[in-house]
Structure 1
Amino acid sequence: MLVFWKEKLVFLAVPKTGTTAIEGALAPRADAVFRDPPILKHTPFYRYKRWVLPMLEKAGAEDFETVAVVRHPVDWLSSWYRYRLRNELVGHKNSTRGISFDEFIVEYCNESPAPFANVGSQAKFLAAQNKPTPCTHVYRYEAQPKMISFLEDRLSAQITLKQLNVSPTAEISVDPEVIALLTREKAADFALWEAAQH
């Protein structure tokens, strides 16, 4: 999470949406950087609203806006799946080695998924008390140029992104029935992506 005081803007770092690259480009420009541990870097909207915003308001903040990036749910899950294929996770409960992408998605759709598929939800990350996202500006990952243009204009700075924390490559295919299950079980995530700026 990045806080830009003068510009009254907070960047919320949704996991697996290129946030490390954005942090790398904008951290020197930010007034406050929540980098480590990951639970602080990836502060969801409800924690921002409950803990961070009151702190900013005590310092005199008014009318702060938030910005975030979301990915298409299948692409987002593909990134998680590939990220957990890494050699250093082999033998760990979070490893997806030896598990197909279809199996990963089916397990993800369970009410209590196994650790390897317990990756949260973009919709829940940006929600507040189960209401639709109150985040001011939400951009699709695929619309990075539009988001970068917004940030450059808002921050009066030129932004160059470098690829950081990239998931390993892997051949990914999904059974249509699994896509139908995901669409049904995670409708809020699809609705969030559909509504995001593109």
Structure 2
Amino acid sequence: MLIFLGPRIVLLSVPKTGTTALEEALAPLAEIAFRAEPSVKHLNLRQYRNRIQPLIARRDRPAFQTVAVVREPLDWLGSWYRYRRRDALIGHRNSTAGIDFEQFVTAYLQPDGPPPYARLGRQSELLIDHDGRVAVDHIFRYEAMPLLVDFLSERLNHPITLERVNVSPAAALELTPATRERLRRELAGDYAIWQAARHAGE
């Protein structure tokens, strides 16, 4: 999470949506940056409103606007799967080495709780308020990163150049039609958020 006091912008950090590249480019411009510990870096909207907003809000200044990136859910899961196949995780309970993508997604969708390597939550969990409504002010698709860069460049009054960082290794991402359909059905809320997010075709 990055907070820009002057422009009144809060950039939430949804995992596997290019946030590391954004942090590398924007952290020097932010007055407040939560970057290291994942449980702090990836504070959700409710945690921000409960813990952080009361510390920085001022009645004599405009309200902060929140910004986030979301990824097409299947692509998001594919990124997690590839990331957890890297050599550094082999032997760790989070490793997906030796597991194909079909097994990974099926495990992720287990109703009684997924195993550690597929325990990821939902992107939507970071974007909803206490009433369960999506309440982030500006949501951009991961695929429309240039649109987000233009938006932030204008709001921060500073040119932004992103580098490719934290790139996951390549892997086959094949699913049966039945599993693909089940994923779309069970992640309908996340798909709806992604479909409504700002994109280059607007």
Normalised by the length of structure 2, the TM-score is 0.94
Determine if the alignment matches structure 1 residue 76 to structure 2 residue 76.
yes
The size of the alignment, in residue pairs, is 198
Determine if the alignment matches structure 1 residue 161 to structure 2 residue 162.
yes
**In 2, Cα distance between equivalents of 1:99 and 1:89:** 13
Q: Unaligned 5+ residue runs, structure 1?
A: none
C-alpha spacing 1:175/1:130, structure 2 compared with 1 (3 Å): farther
Q: Is the 8 A contact 1:34 1:40 kept in 2?
A: yes
Give the residue type in structure 1 aligned to 2:5: W
**In 1, Cα distance between equivalents of 2:110 and 2:131:** 19
Q: How far 1:49 moved relative to its partner?
A: 1.0
Determine if the alignment matches structure 1 residue 176 to structure 2 residue 177.
yes
**In 2, Cα distance between equivalents of 1:53 and 1:65:** 11
Which residue in 1 is equivalent to 2:38? 38
Aligned pairs (5 A) from 1:186-197: 186-197=187-198
C-alpha spacing 1:101/1:60, structure 2 compared with 1 (3 Å): farther
TM superposition outliers: structure 1 runs of 4+ over 6 Å: none
Q: Is the 8 A contact 2:89 2:95 kept in 1?
A: yes
Which residue in 2 is equivalent to 1:128? 129
Q: How far 1:129 moved relative to its partner?
A: 2.5
Which residue in 1 is equivalent to 2:94? 94
Question: In structure 2, the residue corresponding to 1:147 is in which secondary structure?
Answer: helix
Question: In structure 2, the residue corresponding to 1:68 is in which secondary structure?
Answer: strand
C-alpha spacing 1:108/1:61, structure 2 compared with 1 (3 Å): farther
Question: In structure 1, the residue corresponding to 2:189 is in which secondary structure?
Answer: helix
Q: Unaligned 5+ residue runs, structure 2?
A: none
Q: Is the 8 A contact 2:101 2:172 kept in 1?
A: no
C-alpha spacing 1:91/1:130, structure 2 compared with 1 (3 Å): farther
After alignment, is 60-69 or 119-128 more displaced?
60-69
Question: In structure 2, the residue corresponding to 1:46 is in which secondary structure?
Answer: helix
Which residue in 2 is equivalent to 1:51? 51
Normalised by the length of structure 1, the TM-score is 0.96
Q: How far 1:62 moved relative to its partner?
A: 4.0
After alignment, is 162-171 or 64-73 more displaced?
162-171
After alignment, is 149-158 or 57-66 more displaced?
57-66
Question: In structure 2, the residue corresponding to 1:171 is in which secondary structure?
Answer: coil
TM-superposition CA deviations, 1:142-170 (whole Å, max 9, x none): 01111111001100010000011111111
Which residue in 2 is equivalent to 1:151? 152
Question: In structure 2, the residue corresponding to 1:170 is in which secondary structure?
Answer: coil
Give the residue type in structure 1 aligned to 2:95: S
Which residue in 1 is equivalent to 2:85? 85
Determine if the alignment matches structure 1 residue 117 to structure 2 residue 118.
yes
Aligned pairs (5 A) from 1:137-148: 137-148=138-149
Question: In structure 2, the residue corresponding to 1:3 is in which secondary structure?
Answer: strand
Q: How far 1:133 moved relative to its partner?
A: 1.2
TM-superposition CA deviations, 1:17-60 (whole Å, max 9, x none): 00000000000011111012111111111111111111112697
C-alpha spacing 1:28/1:60, structure 2 compared with 1 (3 Å): farther
**In 2, Cα distance between equivalents of 1:60 and 1:176:** 54
Q: Is the 8 A contact 1:109 1:186 kept in 2?
A: no
Q: How far 1:171 moved relative to its partner?
A: 2.1
Which residue in 1 is equivalent to 2:66? 66
